Amino acid sequence: MRGLKCRHAGGWSHARGEARCRDCGTVRVTSYGALRTPDTPEVRTPPARQAHIADRLAAEWVARTARRRPWWGLVTPMGA
């Protein structure tokens, strides 16, 4: 709860892409580098077979959804 009332008047100490409030310890990220993982991200590509299955399932879902009556189709227009 201390952090919620702190107006950070004590100033900020800066280190490695972050600023830390000297009073409450609130951390603010000041550069993109602080958010990065130490290693480069691993490149992961799903196998072609899985991509094909996902495409077919998505197409099937779209086809089924397009045929269904939309929710606004249930609303009767006024005066009708």
**Positions that interact with Zn ion (CB under 5 A):** 6, 8, 21, 23-24, 26
Q: State the nearest-atom distance from the C-beta of 29 to Zn ion, in Å.
A: 15
Nearer to Zn ion, 8 or 19 (CB): 8
Nearer to Zn ion, 13 or 50 (CB): 13
DSSP string, the chain: -HHHH---TT-EEEETTEEEETTT--EEE-SGGGGS-SSPPPP----HHHHHHHHHHHHHHHHHHHHSPPGGGGSPPTT-
Nearer to Zn ion, 24 or 34 (CB): 24
